[in-house]
Chain A
Amino acid sequence: MTTLSGAFFGVIRRDLSIAMRHRGDLLNPLFFFLIVVTLVPLSISPEPARLAAMAPGMIWISALLATLLALDNLFQDDFTDGSLVQLMLSPQPLWLLVLAKIIAHWLVTGLPVVLFSPLLGLMLSLPEEGFAPLLLGLVLGTAVFSLLGAVGAALTVALHKGSVLLSLLVMPLYVPVLIFGTSAVQRAVDGMSYGGVMAMLAAASAFSLLVAPFAAAGALKVGING
Chain B
Amino acid sequence: MSSQSLLEFQALTFERDDWPLFNGLSGTINAGEILQITGPNGCGKTTLLHILATIQPFNTGSLCWLGSDISLCRQQYLSAIAFIGHKPGLKLSLTPRENLQWLAQLQPLTRCTSAEALVRIGLAGFEDVPCHTLSAGQLRRAALATLCMTQASLWLLDEPLTALDVQGIADLEALLLAHAAQGGAVVLSSHQALINPVVRTLALDAMAEAEL
Chain A residues proximal to chain B, CB less than 8 Å? 1-2, 6-7, 10-11, 14, 17-18, 21-22, 80-83, 85-92, 97, 224-225
Contacts and interface: CB of A to CB of B under 8 A. Distances in A.
A11 B102 CA distance: 7
Contact of B102 (A14, A80, A82): A14
Interface in B75-121: 75-76, 78-79, 81, 83, 85-94, 98, 101-108, 110
A224 B53 CA distance: 13
Given A2-B104, A81-B87, 16 more contacts: A1-B79, A1-B110, A2-B105, A11-B102, A14-B98, A81-B90, A81-B92, A85-B83, A86-B89, A86-B103, A86-B106, A87-B106, A88-B55, A90-B106, A90-B107, A225-B55
A225 B54 CA distance: 11
Given A1-B110, A2-B105, A22-B93, A89 B98 contact: no
The 5 closest A-B pairs by CB, nearest first: A82-B87, A10-B105, A82-B89, A90-B106, A21-B93
A80 B106 contact: no
B60 interface: no
Contacts of A224: 55
A82 B107 contact: no
Contact of B78 (A7, A10, A89): A89
Contact of B107 (A17, A21, A91): A91
B4 interface: no
A14 B81 CA distance: 23
Contact of B98 (A17, A82, A90, A225): A17
A17 B81 contact: no
A1 B78 CA distance: 12
Contact of B94 (A10, A14, A90, A91): A14
A224 B89 CA distance: 14
Given A89-B55, A90-B106, A90-B107, A14 B83 contact: no
A83 B102 CA distance: 10
B2 interface: no
B12 to A, nearest CB: 16
A221 B92 CA distance: 24
B162 interface: no
Given A18-B91, A21-B93, A91-B79, A82 B85 contact: yes
Interface of B: 50, 53-57, 75-76, 78-79, 81, 83, 85-94, 98, 101-108, 110, 130
Contacts of A2: 104-108
Contacts of B78: 89-91
B85 A85 contact: yes
Contacts of A82: 85-90
12 contacts: A1-B108, A10-B102, A11-B105, A17-B98, A81-B88, A82-B85, A82-B88, A83-B91, A86-B106, A89-B53, A91-B79, A225-B50
B94 A17 contact: yes
Contacts of B101: 10
Contacts of A91: 75-76, 78-79, 107-108
Contacts of A90: 78, 106-107
Contacts of A87: 106
B50 to A, nearest CB: 8
Contacts of A92: 106
A91 B73 CA distance: 11
A2 B79 CA distance: 10
Contacts of B83: 85-86, 89
A86 B98 contact: no
A92 B101 CA distance: 16
A46 to B, nearest CB: 42
B203 to A, nearest CB: 25
Nearest to B82: A89
Contacts of B110: 1
B97 to A, nearest CB: 12
Nearest to A21: B93
A18 to B, nearest CB: 6
A89 B85 CA distance: 11
